[in-house]
Structure 1
Amino acid sequence: MIKKVNMKRFIYFFVFFLLLTLSLFFVMNSLGSKTIQESLVNSSKNQLAYTESILDGIISEASLYGIQYTADTSVRFYQSKIQEMNNYDAQMKKNDIYDRISAPLLSSQAIESIGIYWKSDGTFIFTGHDSLAKQPFQKVTQRGWQIVNNNLYYFSIYPYIHEPKNPANIQYIVGVKLKKEYLTSLLEKAVSGGESSNAFLLVNKSLMISNKAVDIRIEEKAKETITPNAHEILKFDYHINDDDYYVLSKYIEPIDTYLVTYTRMSDFLNPLNRNKQVFFVSILMILIIGLIVIFMFYRNYYRNVYLLDKKFYQVEQGNYSTRISENPDNQFYSLFKSFNHMVAKIQALFASLKIETELRRNAEVKQLQAQINPHFLYNNLFFIMAVAKTSPEAVMQMSKHLAEYYRYLTKMNSDNVTLASELQLADHFLSIMSLSKKINYEINLPPELGEHLIMPLIIQPMVENAIQHGIEEQQGAYRVTIDVKELDTGALIIVADDGKGLTAEEIHQLMARLENESPPEGSRGIGLWNIHHRLKNAYGELSGLRFFINDWGGLSVLAFIDFSLDEGGQYAIIDS
């Protein structure tokens, strides 16, 4: 990218960017003001809706208490029972009702008092201490919310199922009065606070309760615009002198009241206008300083950075002999010196790594070849000696397979080992074993997989393990199969026997030993550990050995070869 953008174009771009920033700022400032207004309005709507939800809860609570005590059995039969009681029992009954209606006041923050008034004899039980509290009850003619002297009451009448059409048929009235102080504190939750916002309640287009002193002009404007819409929060804007307000109103249908809030916008927009002025001055200073910095940057840094980028690109393309001429007077002298030192180290490292990798691979193959049990050769030579006179045919077969087996091991080149050649080695091994033991074996290889390259000496140790630790440790065991199955990008190799097998716990312990970073002590298990780690290193974590119990009751060993990796892992760096 730095090759395509010269310094002149960069300066043009910088100036264009600043001019574009100035032009876009006007649009952003307008959008910012609009966004702030929308955010404030939405926030105010959320606060108003939250306050409404609390108010609805209070209304529901008061209504519930009114209905509850209207239907209360003690209240319903109070007058009929006290006629049969003496004065003491009648007073105790009255005290019991008083205690019952006083109980909710202990836990409710919104309810100030509850009263019950019997119209027939004027009996009045009241939780408060107001001597004039009975008067609102005497004027009640129907159930519902009423506003008396700027106080909210909920009145419930009996009979309560079928409300009497004639007020004279009302037996008694239950009234619940809300705390005016609580309603006032509730209005504080409808606004964000401060001098810029306020909230109040309008009843019959008259101010009932307010959070604080209300601007009379906004109150009159609100009275003109409010409508009884219980489903939406209505908004209108109002301008007074140099101040802009937005007013929100919500109709509270159960109590026939309007919840109104207003907020002064100028308190929030003035800081934005000040930021606008500061921004213009800042942009001008940035333009001047930026041009000075660009000029100095071009003279002292740009050309050297361009040279360094060019040299890094050459290194990326594989040219490790490239160097930068060092000038002690150059400000980049230390950096260029470090670059030359780094490239020289990388060049030496790659040369050493290639040699070391080749030596490691050769040593690994030699090690695997040396791990082949020498007793295998001795036992087969003794077998030849034992049957030399009685079965010349067996001697010929044993000699042939033994010769092919060791010729493969001694001349094996790890760069051209194929899946077919590895299975041929396993076939020679199994043929040798079947001559001296009762062993039946089967090898299944799809023809299209035979020429794929794999790591050497992967399958033969798996087969040897199946015979030594499976068949030879189980009386009557004699079967071995090698199945190669084609998968999406590779092959699945399964070596199965009908030998001793392992329990689930033993398989778990075996896998734990194979997952160790260091090989197991002694010779037992080191072959499987070696194969397991070679597979994971070359073909990924999924290619390690897996074990499971097969249908014969013996053990099946599974390995996955991913041909797409082309002997990946550490093998991928060879010949690079």
Structure 2
Amino acid sequence: MVKYKIFRNMLIMLIVLLIPATLLFSYSNKVGENVLRETLENSAAKQLEFTVLQLEQSLRQLETQTLLLVNDSNIKAYSSSWDFLEYVDHLLMRKNVEEKLILQSQANTLAHDVSVYWPQIKEALSTKGSLAYQDVELAAMPKNKWFIRKDDLDALSFHLLFTNPSIYKADLSNVTAIVETAIPGDYLKSVLKGLDASGNGTSFLYLSDSTTIANQTINKDFLTLLEHEGALQDNTAGGHPHLSVLKMDGTEFLVQTIRVPSLGGTLVSYIQLNEFLSPFKKVNRLVNTSLILLFVSGVGMSYLLYRHFRIPFGYMVRKIESLGSGDYNSRAVVRTNNEFDYLFAKFNEMASRIQSLIENVYEERVRTREAEYKHLQSQINPHFLYNCLFYIVSMAHKSPDAVTSMAKNLAQFYRYITRKAGTDSTLADEISLIESYLQVQSLRNKRLTYEIDILPSMLELSVPTLLLQPLVENAVVHGLERKRDSGIIRIQGSWSDDGYTITVEDDGAGMPEPNIRELTVQVYSQRNSDEIGCGLWNIHHRLINQFGPDSGLKFTNNVWGGFCVTVNIPSTRKEEFPYECIAGGR
């Protein structure tokens, strides 16, 4: 087998160059994308933490200020100022309280309004201006925690109410004063706007009652996805944002959430990874395009190597193998317009010289083989004739019909062999001859019966003339006539991957195993022995001359106890064999 080592090594070198380059580019792209995503996650998380921390600090400061106001002596004393002797003192105290409220609302950077309610005197003051006192509404409002309210225009605001005393009755009958701090929803929108301006995505505040505060409309499907995935639950630990990657309609979202304890809501920041990574994706496409071009270049180089090296070299190898198998007319006729043309010319010159040297010797050997083949076949013809003549003599007085049939079949036989002399026959012709022969023998021996089972596909098989007749004759003479209770001859033909097989067997006396081994040695020997007839030896060596050393005869005993001869013919006919095979060397 030819090893295309140079071509293989060149392909290996090309693959060795392509694979590391591809792996390096892929690894660098993966690392770059991971670093970019990690940077985005850290930046968004820090911004989210900072925003919530600032908001919580502002809310805590408002809570402290509100608590100080509700415990202010002037505010507590105002509800009993109606008992003063002079109305002017009451007005002065009211003015003092209003100034404190205004000062309190301006003392914090967080925009808010402050209001004071006195349930005992049904009066209220606020930085928003005049404010009417409402008993039922004030009693229903949550106390001591932040809560959400909506006005008639659906504007949101956050409120915190502290009472004095902190433990109050449901009807507020024991409450001296209530201080309310209100933050408008627009302030939270401004906080979200500042968070969005950092470039880390879009943010919104999700409250416990499924209310959202955002600077733009939030997709309901996206909100449903967040709720379904549990991203809006309180799953943060230690005040750190919770990170998750969600996919909707083929788009990946990087979502970070953090709890806002004071407002009882969740601050959500999300960004579309496809948009954020789009510049990086462009670089990836450029890298992938480069890899594809590199791969195409590699394929092109491989094709050039295959076209200008591998194909001419393979063609040269096939021509050399053809020359080695005996086709001395083999010539290289392909033109490659490269260095192989010189090799092809030298090969043609060498093949011409080899052909001229072999033809002289080979023609002489062919003539010798043909002469020996005719000599071998001439030995069979008198062998069969002698048997037929002796049979006619022995049956002349016993069965004239048998003599007539024998004479008729003998005439047909000689017509057959004279017509086929020196040529091959088909298996169908041989079977027809065998049937005539067995019909004659069955007239002489009433015990004789025969079976012929040949595959139809084998009938056109070309075989040597008088291949089976001597085998059948030996079965009748040496097998059936030596055993009184025998009388069956079976001829079968089969096919396998190894070739064709024809068996001729009888239920006669058979042959001991030592005798079979001795017969095999004599038939397989290169020269005929006088101890056996020429029939088996001639048939065996004629098969070898025509079909090669894998053909020939094989002798065994069958299950009946009789003798079986197997004819092996290879499925691929070999037209020419070395001269040494004529003698049948095994």
Give TM-score, length-normalised by structure 1: 0.43
Q: Which has the larger radius of gyration?
A: 2
